[in-house]
Amino acid sequence: MSTKKITVNTLMDMKNKGEKITMLTAYDFQMASLLDQCGIDMILVGDSLGNVMLGYENTIPVTMNEMIHHCKAVTRGAKNAMIVGDMPFMSYQINAEQAVENAGRLLKESDVEAVKLEGGEEVLEAIHKIVQAGIPVMGHLGLTPQSINKFGGYGVRGEAEEEAQAMLSDAKKLEEAGAFSVVLEKVPAKLAKSITDAINIPTIGIGAGVNCDGQVLVTHDMLGLFEKFRPKFSKRYAELAKEMKRCYSQYIKEVKEKEFPSQEHSF
């Protein structure tokens, strides 16, 4: 379990030593604080907050202001984990200057230590300029949910040989552009291993098999808090939605039946 501040250098050391990197998402102070207390290496304030916190259908509507609001809460809760904030849709695609400006806003206004953005070849210039400005960038290849309308679904990416080769080439280019790490989402395990072996920066998998340098999951999925869908790649470590509903129902019943508050909870 880590008790020291995790930096990009720590992550490189971990890859070189073959020590697995752990990452989970958080969107608020309390979740971040619990994750940090348990020794998580990295916390991602993912734009998945659009789905699990704000009730959007997908991540497309998430704004810079919404990201900053949640990133601020997370950075107040975690001291040791490295905190990465997602760049929302259309905050980096228009041009590299706007990408630098928005990455800078995330760092200055919310205190995250790095940003993540989705894509390969098409975002290299943005990555290069953000890194030049002194901001660590995490890439994201494979299933990139901000492009859901282009893909037309949330299926596995890189099954066809041509797409697999393009992803491998993109991963190398992300490293060359200065990314410190890359998320591989919903990618065949064999391809994820080839990418992991081919680049010097850590790969963090989600639905990409055991051979990535690290793993990330959406906290709400692994805790069984988000009931709307159940991704195959996300192991459920608890059924918190069920447990919360049990507590809420019991409270409602006890108040209605004047069982709560009892003497013990009264003055």
* Residue whose structure tokens are 């760092």: 107
Q: How far is the CB of 206 from ligand KIV (least distance, A)?
A: 5
* Site for ligand KIV, residues 217 to 256, rule: CB under 6 A: 218
Identify residue 149 by its one-letter amino acid code.
Answer: N
Interface pattern 45-74 for ligand KIV (x via CB under 6 A): -xxx--------------------------
Residue 106 is a binding residue for ligand KIV (CB under 6 A): no
CA angle 118, 146, 234 (to 5 degrees): 85
Tokens matching residue 226: 């988000």
Identify the H or E element spanning 203.
Answer: strand 203-206
* Site for ligand KIV, residues 164 to 183, rule: CB under 6 A: 183
Identify residue 88 by its one-letter amino acid code.
Answer: P
Residue 206 is a binding residue for ligand KIV (CB under 6 A): yes
Phi, psi of 221, rounded to the nearest 5 degrees: -70, -45
Q: Cβ-closest residue to ligand KIV?
A: 46
Q: Identify which range of 9-17, 44-52, 75-83, 131-139 contacts ligand KIV by CB under 6 A.
A: 44-52
Cβ(82)–Cβ(113) below 8 Å: yes
Binds ligand KIV (CB under 6 A): choice among 36, 41, 66, 86? 86
Which of the following is catalytic: 185, 227, 239, 264? 185
Nearest to 140 by CA among 92, 82, 76, 210: 92
CB-nearer residue toward ligand KIV: 142 or 178: 142
Please list the alpha-helical segments (H only) found in the chain.
8-17, 29-37, 49-52, 64-77, 96-110, 124-132, 148-151, 161-177, 189-198, 219-222, 240-256
Name the DSSP class of 200. Answer: S
CB-nearer residue toward ligand KIV: 115 or 177: 115
Nearest to 66 by CA among 76, 82, 51, 83: 51
Binds ligand KIV (CB under 6 A): choice among 25, 146, 196, 203? 25
Interface pattern 113-152 for ligand KIV (x via CB under 6 A): ----------------------------------------
Number of shown-chain residues binding ligand KIV (CB under 6 A): 11
118 is catalytic: no
Residue 85 is a binding residue for ligand KIV (CB under 6 A): no
Enumerate binding residues for ligand KIV (CB under 6 A).
Answer: 25, 44, 46-48, 86, 183, 185, 206, 216, 218
- Residues known to be catalytic: 185
